[in-house]
Amino acid sequence: MSDELRVGGQGLGNIKGKGASSVKVPKLWTGDYYNEGVGSSHDGLFDKLREECGVFGVFGHSEAASLSYYGLHALQHRGQESAGICVTGGDSFNYHRGMGLVKEVFNNENLGTLVGSNAIAHVRYSTSGESKLANAQPLVFKYREGDLAIATNGNLTNAPAIKRQLEKEGSIFQTTSDTEVVAHLIARSKHDDIVSAVKETLLKVEGAYAFLFMTKDKLIAARDPYGLRPFVMGRLGTAKLFASESCAFDTVGGQYYRDIEPGELLVMDLKTGTLTEDRFSPIKQRAICAMEYIYFARPDSDIDSTNIHSARKRMGRQLAIESFVDADVVTGVPDSSISAAIGYAEQTGIPYELGLIKNRYTGRTFIQPSQELREQGVKMKLSAVRSIVEGKRVVMIDDSIVRGTTSLRIVNLLREAGASEVHVRISSPPFQNPCFYGIDTPSRKELIAAVKSVEEIRQAINADSLHFLSKEGLLTAIGRPGGEYNRGHCTACFDNHYPTPVPDEAALSCGCD
């Protein structure tokens, strides 16, 4: 994808100014107003990576829908295009889904209709698939054993091949979601009980996933055999909670209990009130996504007992050890780079300052940005504090460089505010390969680190110096114990070593699409 962005499959539109000829400009939205349904983070001005989904589940609580609502709020950073909640009390399903942020999809009226003690919920961000209500989750299906609801975070790498085969055999698909492929496999299973059908299905799919399945009397949680996507279990009194991140438990007053193991299948039975710990697969190779620690997860979340904020601070410290530069101030690009910037400052003794301020209220606008405003669009989101950076040698910490366009804009922003030098330090290795496991990434040829050397990137972003954290430094900083390959991380985006077979990148789409 170039700087002429495409959103929702829309191409370039024409705008005619007074006395001017027709000029082609990117159309940055598909609805009535800019950023409809996707909040303020999906604006076409930044080339950050994006997670695709977040899941939340409740078993055995009378206010399951309300808990899910607040849980989804805590996971909003993982998806801003749509949200949904499905509940049951042992009889029929009640569910509501909509396009937009959680606070826009739900209100007192529709939440009041979601009565039941069990719930699964979802926030979604799509990539190549169309952003539409039909793809919003949880998806709800009718099959021979009754109602089935499914919510997932991740991507099934062999879903396109399975879907083509199912279509040849007569299956008709209503969405472009990997989740519907799983539903068809469950429906075709010769097993009548849902647990056996789910096990059989999960053995047929490949890739990264955290699944929540719900019937009228069971709730099932499953994580892929590599543990690529985060998935945790919590408690609230006697109720069981499930979420993509532990921060969601804090929001609802619950407590983190443990991470769901790779290949594990947890079955909650409404009739007996029991939880059964089971497996559909042995652990193949622990490979939690390293980008969760670097960028995606909230700083107050824990993954495998490692706090994200603390891990990012250690990344900043390690980055300082590997690439010290004499400077006057250290600043981080809000928000995910702040922790690493603090660590860099603490290690070097260079003062940490708020040299960049994020505008959190850009929201939506009916005004279509002009070409000039698009070129300066980063100023809608970030402002440099002139009194902090003017005449100073600045170390700018960021978590990653994708295409390089954002880094260039921010470096120039600091220079325009009077910074005498701008030294860029990245708290991850060069991002050189696309992800096939549930993260929105450009193709390999569009990743700047895949086609340019570090020196060429430095020149492209107009920095005085540039350094990336080494992979070894990253794994040391995260701090997970050794003894497993890559200390149990997936680092394919840095080293091209994918833990599972992956198809041609051009043939793959988001698992949530």
Is-contact 485 476, C-beta < 8 A? no
Query: For helices 471-478 and 308-322, what crossing angle results, to 10°?
Result: 140
Task: Count the alpha carbons within 13 Å of 156 in the hemisphere toward its beta carbon.
Answer: 25
**R_g over Cα of the chain:** 23
Which amino acid is residue 182, in one-letter code?
V
SS3 3: coil
495 is in an annotated binding site: no
Residues acting as catalytic residues = 53
Q: Is 490 annotated as a binding residue?
A: yes
Q: Which two tokens stand for residue 378?
A: 């980063």
CA-based nearest residue to 448, from 410, 492, 408: 408
CA distances from 378 to 43, 102, 127, 404, 410 (A): 10, 25, 22, 13, 7
Has 82 been labeled as part of a binding site? Answer: no
In degrees, to the nearest 5, what angle opens at C-alpha 416 toward C-alphas 411 and 419?
Answer: 70
As a whole number of angstroms, the distance between CA 266 and CA 258 comes to: 12
Any binding-site annotation on 400?
A: no
Secondary structure of 154-184 as H, E, C letters: EEECCHHHHHHHHHHCCCCCCCCCHHHHHHH
Q: Is 86 annotated as a binding residue?
A: no
Residue 504: DSSP 8-state: -
| Prior bond of 335 cis (ω within 30°) | yes
Q: Is 398 annotated as a binding residue?
A: yes
Pairing verdict, β 393-398 and 329-332 = parallel
Short-list 58, 25, 202, 204, CA closest to 138: 58
User: Cα(128)–Cα(130) distance, rounded to whole angstroms?
Assistant: 7
Q: Which two tokens stand for residue 174?
A: 């209503």
Does the annotation place 399 within a ligand binding site? Answer: yes
As annotated, the binding site for Mg(2+) includes: 336, 398-399
As annotated, the binding site includes: 289, 336, 398-399, 435, 490, 493
As annotated, the binding site for [4Fe-4S] cluster includes: 289, 435, 490, 493
